[in-house]
Homo-oligomer: A and B are copies of this chain.
Amino acid sequence: MKSHREELWFETRTRREYINITDRVQGAVSDSGVAEGLCLVNAMHITASVYINDDESGLIQDYDDWLEQLAPHEPVSRYRHNRTGEDNGDAHHKRQIMGREVTVAITDGRLDLGTWEQIFYAEFDGRRRKRVLVKIIGE
């Protein structure tokens, strides 16, 4: 059994941002030398998500509006968590909707994705250095 570990680092300019990381994850798969296996991709921070959906700008804006409706950033006093001095209570909620991680099959050395499946890093509390873990096991 082979295993491979890589970190992907991000520092967004805005609080919220949605970044297509499919090519970077495929790069990790290629580096791993694994032909058949599983690839785990997870946010290492608790105010960010890794999810799979379409790379379509209208949809991404729809998601952003919807998440803001389900868990608004303001008023920051809405969240007990913000009494700790944070202002990211909303980000902890948005991340639960979109999820922490995806597990993707590796087949013939490639991410085994459907036609429109793209892997995204969703940042909900950005403007600082944060990272994603890629862990690959297989043969």
Contact = CB atoms under 8 A, between A and B. Distances in A.
A46 B38 contact: no
Contact of A138 (B3, B42, B43, B71): B3
Interface in A46-89: 46, 51-54, 56, 58-59, 61-63, 66, 70-71, 79-84, 89
A117 interface: yes
Number of copies: 3
A98 interface: yes
Contact of A46 (B37, B71, B117, B133): B117
A107 to B, nearest CB: 6
Contacts of A113: 44
A107 B59 CA distance: 36
A37 B139 CA distance: 12
Contacts of A117: 44-46
A127 B81 CA distance: 27
A120 to B, nearest CB: 11
Interface of A: 1, 3, 5, 36-38, 40, 42-46, 51-54, 56, 58-59, 61-63, 66, 70-71, 79-84, 89, 92-93, 95-105, 107, 112-117, 131, 133, 135, 137-139
Q: Which 7 A-B pairs have the closest CB atoms?
A: A44-B114, A58-B80, A105-B135, A3-B36, A59-B81, A58-B81, A46-B53
